[in-house]
Amino acid sequence: MTPQKDINTEADIKLLVNTFYAKVKADDLLGPIFLSRLGENWDRHLETMYKFWGMALFGNDGYSGHPLSKHLTLPVDGTHFNRWLHLFFETLEQNFNGPVAGEAMKKAGTIARTFLSRITAYNSGQPPIYPTALN
């Protein structure tokens, strides 16, 4: 059954983030990477993600950070980003339906492409391929 509700409120953002990161934490590929950085202290990360997605989807204030810098040294490649996107899209499709959910999918795709390009470049010493070149 297709959900009938779009992402409209802060509670919806929390549902998205909490459900997604529960999947990440349990995932055999992504879970160990996140656990190596966060341990069992996920609360701060989740609060940051609520603010990030509130800013990304609603234009809310409150998020400040440089997310790429926190990811540059992670041992990840395209396989990890594909799994991340799969879990994110699955979470959206199971819980939401509407234009804001569609925008969340687009933004997640852009984030994944950008991060993968920049992490790959960082690890290879080559200049990054910017996301517009991948479209």
Question: For residue 3, is it within any domain?
Answer: no
Q: What is the extent of the structural domain holding 18? A: 10-134
Q: What is the pLDDT of residue 68?
A: 80
Question: For residue 4, is it within any domain?
Answer: no
- The rounded distance, in Å, linking the Cα atoms of 3 and 96 is 5
Please count the structural domains in the chain.
1
The region that residue 9 occupies, defined by phi over 0 for left and psi between -120 and 50 for alpha, beta otherwise, is beta
Q: What is the pLDDT of residues 66-97, one digit of tens each?
A: 888 778 778 888 999 999 999 999 999 999 99
Phi and psi (nearest 5°) for 6? -90, 175
Question: For residue 5, is it within any domain?
Answer: no
- Residue 111 burial (10 A CB sphere; 0-12, 13-18, 19+): buried
Grade residue 132 by pLDDT with cuts at 50, 70 and 90: low
Give the domain CATH number at 36: 1.10.490.10
Question: For residue 15, is it within any domain?
Answer: yes
Question: For residue 117, is it within any domain?
Answer: yes
Question: For residue 1, is it within any domain?
Answer: no
Q: What is the pLDDT of residues 9-42, one digit of tens each?
A: 999 999 999 999 999 999 999 999 999 989 888 9
Q: If you search the block for the tokens 């199971």, which residue do you land on?
A: 94
Q: How many CB atoms lie within 10 A of CB 38?
A: 15
> How far, in Å, are 104, 107, 126 from residue 134 at the CA level?
19, 15, 16
Question: For residue 2, is it within any domain?
Answer: no
3-state secondary structure 49-101: HHHHHHHHHHCCCCCCCCHHHHHCCCCCCHHHHHHHHHHHHHHHHHHCCCHHH
